[in-house]
Every structure is written in C-alpha cells, then in structure tokens.
Amino acid sequence: MSRDLPADQGLPVSDAPTVSDAFSKRKQHLVSRGNRYNREDPEQNPTKEAPPMHRLSVRSRLVVFICGALALGVGCGTTLALQPGSKTPAAAGIVKLSRDSQGNTQLALSVNYLPEPFELNRALTTFVVWSIADDGSRVRNMGQMQLDSHRHGVVNLVTPLTSFKLLVTAEESATAEKPSDYAVLSGNVQMNPS
C-alpha cells in the first residue's frame, strides 16, 4: 500500500530509499574514495563476502603460516609453534624437533616478521637462540639467528636437552652470556623419550 505525498514533502513511500540502498551507497562511497570497506562489519558488507587472503589479520596469517608449515613437515618429529613476545606481537616462529642417532634433540627453527634488532633498541644488533633448562639454572646460548631482507630467518641447532624453554632474544652481541629482556619468541620444548 503506497501513498503519494505532496511534491514538496519528498518521494512517494514506495520510492523511499531502503536500508540495503543505504548499505550499497556507503559501499560505493568507500570504494570510490579508494578506501577499503570492512567486509566483517555487517553495516558495510550486507552480502557477507569473505575477506581476501591479503587482508587477513596478523593472527590469521600466523595460523595460515603454521598450518602450512605443519602440512609441509613430512617425516617423523614434532612441530612446535613459538609464542611472540610482548614487544613483537607480529613475530611468528615454528621449530621442527627430531632426534639424531646419538639421542640429541635437533631443532630446525624458522621465523618470520621479526623486526630489525635496532628497532627494539639502538644498541641491539642480532638475534640469539637460547635454551633454558632446570628452572633457569642452565642457560645456554645456542647460536645466532640471521634474518634476510624479508624478515625471515632459518637456523638448525642441536642440544643434548630433551626438556627446556626455547627463547629468541635481540642482543648486543652474538656471544651474549645471558638473555636480554628483548624476547621476541619463546616456547617450551618437550621431547618424548625414544
């Protein structure tokens, strides 16, 4: 039932803009300005389109990265996702664990999205991987982690330990004797006895 209004009071009710027209106009306005609209917001995306892969959040990209690494990790061993530090929430890392013929723990550590060390503090120059065992009484500098131009790094390490905390920190020197407060990634390693 439509009712015509006098010409000076606007359009007939049947021709009045609907809510979906308002959403479409908002979407067109944002797209025409070159802004990306938020596909997750129902007010800006009434059709519920899925966001494209390049617009995923850091956490979603981390999940994709870890799932991909797990899918590629063929063979025996365990894969552990490392937790980012409070100063580097975008950092991502995985470590593939296995045993060598002498019973040592082999670690294949891969990291992504690390900042340059000097971005955390001007005095810092490198990343160091640490093993911390026995409630902190045994701390060992396992080696230096180099990053490429894409903020990605890979290092292979060996330790006789089977249960320890793995820590990646930014340091002033690769020969640091104890970890700094600039932890970028960490995880608890627990190898099952074989």
State the CATH number of the domain containing residue 108.
2.60.40.150
Residue 140 shares a structural domain with residue 176: yes
Closest CA to 182 of 76, 84, 53: 84
Place of tokens 């010409």: 7
Residue 68 shares a structural domain with residue 150: yes
Distance CA 90, CA 109 (A): 17
pLDDT score for 89: 95
pLDDT score for 44: 52
Q: Which domain holds residue 162?
A: 58-190
Residue 16 shares a structural domain with residue 76: no
Plot region of 3 (φ>0 → left; ψ -120 to 50 → alpha; else → beta): beta
Distance CA 44, CA 65 (A): 29
Residue 1 lies in a domain: no
Answer with the one of 53, 69, 86 that is the final residue of a domain: 53
What one-letter code names the amino acid at 52?
P
Report helix, strand and coil shares of the chain as percent, to nearest 5: 25, 30, 45
Q: How many domains is the chain built from?
A: 2
Q: What are phi and psi of 97, to 5 degrees?
A: -105, 140
pLDDT score for 40: 55
Residue 5 lies in a domain: no
CB atoms < 10 A from the CB of 54, how many? 6
Spans in the chain with pLDDT lower than 50: 5, 8-14, 16, 19, 35, 37, 70-75
Alpha-helical (H) ranges within the chain are 19-32, 58-72, 117-120
Residue 118 lies in a domain: yes
Residue 6 lies in a domain: no
CB-based burial, 119-128: b 16+ in 10 Å, e otherwise: ebeeebebbb
pLDDT score for 61: 61
H or E stretch covering 181 = none
What one-letter code names the amino acid at 190?
Q
The DSSP secondary-structure symbol of 184 reads E
Residue 21 shares a structural domain with residue 85: no
Q: 193: which 2 tokens? A: 């006895």
Residue 81 shares a structural domain with residue 166: yes
Tally the residues of the chain: 194
Residue 162 shares a structural domain with residue 75: yes
Residue 20 shares a structural domain with residue 105: no
pLDDT score for 176: 97
Residue 30 shares a structural domain with residue 111: no
H or E stretch covering 84 = strand 78-84
Residue 44 shares a structural domain with residue 129: no
Over residues 5-59, the pLDDT tens digits come to: 455 444 444 454 554 555 565 556 555 555 454 555 555 555 555 555 555 566 6
pLDDT score for 23: 54
pLDDT score for 74: 38
Residue 89 shares a structural domain with residue 136: yes
Residue 79 shares a structural domain with residue 164: yes
Quote the pTM value: 0.62
pLDDT score for 75: 41
Question: Rg (Cα) of the chain, in Å, rounded?
Answer: 26
Residue 41 shares a structural domain with residue 63: no
pLDDT score for 50: 52
